[in-house]
Chains A and B, each alone.
Chain A
Amino acid sequence: MSKKLGKMLAETISSLFKKPATSSYPFKKREIHKHYNGKVAYIKEKCVGCNMCVRNCPAKAIFITKIADKQFEATLHLDRCIFCSQCVISCKFGALKNTNEFELATGDKSKLVVKL
């Protein structure tokens, strides 16, 4: 076995002339993939209130409430949501879908419970 001292030296020197591998995030936004499991979106018109999403949610993060006849409202607890998108699969009527929204951090706890 040939032992060479400083095998990585050439690589190290060439790195001096390369662009940084990191990106300056808040100023330069990353392109998010189309199938990203971000915050779920709720399409009111399609919801029939079957509650399958509520039943299957592993984190008890989503709730559907009846506001009027055949009219429903979804409440999402962002602090509980684990972004598995099981609710999207469970919904047979296409009332829930994934979005690319992922910048959901906030300093105010009350903002983590959202009406969709």
Chain B
Amino acid sequence: MSKKVVIPIGPQHPALKEPASFDVTLKGERVADILVKVGYNHRGIEKACEERTFLQSVYLVERVCGICSHSHSTCFIQAIEELANLKIPPRAAYIRSLIGELERIHSHLLWLGVAAHEIGFDTLLMYSWRDREIVMDLLALLTGNRVNYAVNVIGGVRKDVSEEEKDQILKAVDILEERTKYYVQVATEEVTLIERLSKVGYISHEDALKYGAVGPTGRASGIKRDIRKDDPYAAYGEVDFEVITDDHCDVYGRAVVRVKELMQSYSIIRQLLKKLPQGPLSVVAPRLIPAGEAVSRYEAPRGEDIHFVKSNGTDKPERVKLRAPTLANVQSVAKMLEDGYLADVPIVIAAIDPCFSCTDRMIVAVNNVSTAKEDRMDWKTLREFSIDWYKKNRGVDFTKLKKLDK
């Protein structure tokens, strides 16, 4: 019997676009165990928010993720608006939903391309990314930016949708729908795709519930959960759409769910534009946000996004906590890969549509409680400790660098 081998995948790996580390224990060619390690891309955004006003924090939170930027900014703003007891005008709610759906289309098309690339189907990557340009252009037209749209302001939105732009959106949505129909056909009929993705990264309905899978990952295992339906925000209460689920429970199921969700997004956009009410775009927001705590939920393209905001009555938040959807999904990856092949590792990781920089919210130093006080170091002690550590463990002498100290 072959012995067990541990292969580190990441933090820098050609298959993963972001730094995350997976220690894969192999038995032959099959995965025996997998250890998921995140925390390579910690940027301290939550703490930085505490140093900025609510208004400035919106832009910082928007930059948590480059793809679901509108998701994070809307989620954060919803929490602030709840604290300040602001009711946004209906037109603003519709525009928020509209940008949200365009963002979902852009994210799902991007995922389709990345997933196709991971399985060596680069033709599909080129096609889906070409079509993604259409929606990126629309977002640039509507908001002024291709990513990080900055369309939200506290109390509403800042950019309006004119009649001319409405026509342009509808025209683009028609083209995209035509293309997506083709992808649905590819996903359900192309034999290479089905054979490659079926039974890969299997996670049963029960396990998906147990590991707390959210978004398309959960829905592909038959978990009918969608914040847009369960707890409607913005204008989702007023549009009619279906929550797509699938019972394949594998990567193929996740692909089908995402492609079908695209079709739902087109339908939502048409309804939103048809019903778009007249009226103001925003209400005046106070600079000082009343003291209190609020939790806001948002269905990002990758799943449920949760933001917690605590205010102490000043213009700066006292505490901000974000839970990006990847953090909820990342543990289910370990389950999915159990007993799978090593060659399937990249596509299974890619199938949850991971966004590791969104996930890395904080790094916890696990301290022994009794020595916790001594473990706290100031900058000077930490530096000396690291110089000693490298000398002792790695044989590297950094003492010469001491002259750089002031």
Which among A31-39, A41-49, A72-80 touches the partner chain? A31-39
Q: Could you tell me which residues of chain A, from 65 to 98, have a CB within 8 Å of some CB in chain B?
A: 82-86, 89, 98
Contacts of A109 in B (CB 8 A): none
Bound together, the chains give a CA A12 to CA B188 distance in angstroms of: 18
Residue A5 is within 8 A (CB to CB) of chain B in the complex: yes
| Chain A residue at minimum C-beta to C-beta distance from B121 | A8
Q: Across the interface, do A82 and B148 meet the contact criterion of CB distance under 8 Å?
A: yes
Q: Which residues of chain B (129-164) have a CB below 8 Å from chain A? A: 130, 133, 140-141, 143-145, 148, 150, 153, 158-159
Which chain A residue lies CB-closest to B153?
A89
Count residues of A near B (Cβ-Cβ below 8 Å). 25
> Would you call B182 an interface residue if the criterion is a C-beta within 8 Å of the partner chain's C-beta atoms?
yes
In the complex, the answer to whether A8 meets B144 with C-beta atoms within 8 Å is: no
Q: B144 near A86 (CB under 8 angstroms)?
A: no
Stretch at the interface among B189-197, B236-244, B329-337: B189-197
Complex interface residues of chain B between 304 and 357 (CB less than 8 A to chain A): none
Interface residue A7 (Cβ < 8 Å from any Cβ of B): yes
Query: A3 to B194, Cβ gap below 8 A?
Result: yes
Q: Does B60 contact A (CB under 8 A)?
A: yes
Q: A36 near B190 (CB under 8 angstroms)?
A: no
Q: Quick one: which of B144, B150, B190 has the most chain A CB within 10 A? A: B144
Q: Which residues of B contact A86 (CB under 8 A)?
A: 55, 59, 150
Q: How far is the CB of B321 from chain A (nearest CB, A)?
A: 20
Q: Is the CB of B55 within 8 A of A83?
A: no
B383 at the interface (CB under 8 A from A): no
* Nearest chain B CB to A103 CB, angstrom units: 15
Is the beta-carbon distance between B141 and A33 smaller than 8 angstroms? yes
Question: Which residue of the partner chain, among B130, B150, B189, contacts A84 with CB atoms under 8 Å?
Answer: B150
- Docked pose: A14 CA to B140 CA in angstroms: 30
Pairwise interchain contact A3-B59, C-beta atoms closer than 8 A:
no
Q: Is the CB of A7 within 8 A of B123?
A: no
- Taking each of B56, B127, B182, B188, which has the highest tally of chain A beta carbons within 10 Å of its own beta carbon? B56
Given A2-B189, A7-B191, A89-B158, 16 other A-B contacts at CB below 8 A? A1-B188, A1-B189, A3-B191, A4-B189, A7-B185, A8-B123, A33-B140, A33-B144, A36-B140, A37-B144, A56-B56, A58-B59, A58-B60, A83-B145, A84-B150, A86-B150
Residues of A within 8 A of B (CB): 1-5, 7-8, 11-12, 21, 33, 35-37, 56-59, 82-86, 89, 98
